[in-house]
Amino acid sequence: MKFVFTDKKVNLPNKVHAYAEKKVGKLDRYFKADAEAAIVFSVEKDRNQVEVTVRSGGTVYRVSESTSDMFASIDAAVSSIERQIRKNKARLEKRLRENAFERTVDEQSSFVPDEPEEEFKVVRTKKFPIRPMSVEEAILQMNLVDHTFFAFRDADADGAFAVVYRRNDGGYGLIADEQ
């Protein structure tokens, strides 16, 4: 697993990075050789925040944990990713390394007990024509129907599929296809 560390508004000693590499490295048994972990450290309002993003085989696992201690935040983030993987292990088996869930005798880990897997249930389907329009027009349409997101074909990007959404800070976001 490759590691990328980023410190935002904080200067951390190398032992924190080494600890994070050791703890996140334990997740390596789940991933194939191409896995990459991006770990972002920050301090906001006396809370030590750790954001871990692991990319492997086209799948992205992302967690953010915040505690009063940076080491505890790292531990919590690793536990959260492990919980995500275990919770969805049946769906993820094709994307994870073979034998990822088999324990070895000498292995010491913070295994989370298996949780029953919930079924993805589509409760409603809507069909509507997705027509080309500008981003501004899509935001206007979204506001007119009073939704928090709106799917459209971006006329400025040769009709590529895109989604505009309302952010919590009051602004707008755009999710666009990478053509």
pLDDT tens digits, the chain, 179 residues: what are they?
A: 899 999 998 888 899 999 999 999 888 877 777 788 999 999 988 899 999 988 877 777 889 999 999 999 999 999 988 888 777 666 666 556 555 555 544 444 555 555 566 777 888 888 878 889 999 988 888 887 778 999 999 999 888 999 999 999 989 999 998 86
Cβ partners under 8 Å of residue 173, min gap 6:
164, 165, 166, 167
- DSSP string covering 18-75: HHHHHHHHGGGGGS-TT-EEEEEEEEETTEEEEEEEEEETTEEEEEEEEESSHHHHHH
The edge-to-edge listing of strands for the beta sheet with 132-133 is 132-133, 149-154, 160-166, 172-176
pTM: 0.60
Instruction: Give the per-residue pLDDT at 29.
Output: 79
User: What angle do helix axes 14-25 and 70-87 make, rounded to 10 degrees?
Assistant: 20
Q: What is the pLDDT of residue 95?
A: 56
